[in-house]
Amino acid sequence: MAKLILGLVGEIASGKGTVVDYLAQNHNASTHRFSTIIRDVLDRLYIEHSRDSLQQTSSMLRNTYGENIFAKVMARDTQSDDNNIIVIDGIRRVADIEFLKENPDFKLVFIDVSLEKRYERIIQRGENADDKNKTFEEFKLDAQREAELTIGELRNKANVILDNNGKREDLERQIEELLK
């Protein structure tokens, strides 16, 4: 089997993690996550993982080392990854795919889901310290932050668009079609 590198892009709580988990569990995919780099920095500095701290640290690193700093890391990480299926979670900007798209094995996958469905999911999962008690109005404001605003541009660059407004089984069926 040829190598396949899937870059996942989608708004907050669109189901990127669900796709990653499915591919890892059912197809032995290896995974890389943009936010892991930022979370590692925050952990080392003993700073809580909130949406604000993640976005501020991302902006600081991008402003200091260039908009494509995370793309450089991901491109190098995937080059040294020997798995047949590699999944990259959390692409948010065109600069994030700058180096990845040069690889013919790379495919950009956009995950589409409604604002209301995403809000339900973010409350349920509570990944960041400030997620569980978030109101719908606060969530809508989060969706307008700098890190989220550029996601729409990537929809037009995607090789595949997955609709994640239905049941999990529907999404899994789409993933299997994508792998074919």
**pLDDT > 90? residue 142:** no
Question: Rounded to an integer, what distance in angstroms lies between the CA atom of residue 106 and that of residue 45?
Answer: 33
Looking at residue 130, which CATH number applies to its domain?
Answer: 3.40.50.300
Greatest mean pLDDT among 16-25, 51-60, 68-77, 133-142 lies in 16-25
Predicted pLDDT of residue 147: 59
* pLDDT exceeds 70 at position 151: yes
Share of the chain above pLDDT 90, in %: 63
- In which band, very low, low, confident or very high, does the pLDDT at 135 lie, cut at 50, 70 and 90? confident
**% of the chain residues with pLDDT over 70:** 94
Reported as a pLDDT band with limits 50, 70 and 90, residue 154 is very high
pLDDT at position 8 over 90: yes
- Domains of the chain: total: 1
Q: What is the pLDDT of residues 53-108, one digit of tens each?
A: 998 999 999 999 999 999 998 999 998 999 999 999 989 899 999 889 999 999 99
pLDDT band at 129 (very low <50, low <70, confident <90, very high): low
Helix (H, G, I), strand (E, B) or coil at 36: helix
Least confident of 126-130, 145-149, 166-170, 176-180: 126-130
pLDDT at residue 12, rounded to an integer: 84
Task: Give the C-alpha separation, 53 to 136, whole Å.
Answer: 20
Q: How far is CA 72 from CA 48, 80, 119, 169, in A?
A: 26, 13, 31, 34
Domain membership of residue 18 as a residue range: 4-179
Q: Please, are residues 92 and 153 in contact by the beta-carbon 8 Å criterion?
A: no
Q: How many CA atoms lie within 13 A of 82 on its CB side?
A: 0
Question: In the β-sheet with 160-163, what is the strand arrangement from edge to edge?
Answer: 30-33, 85-91, 4-9, 106-112, 160-163
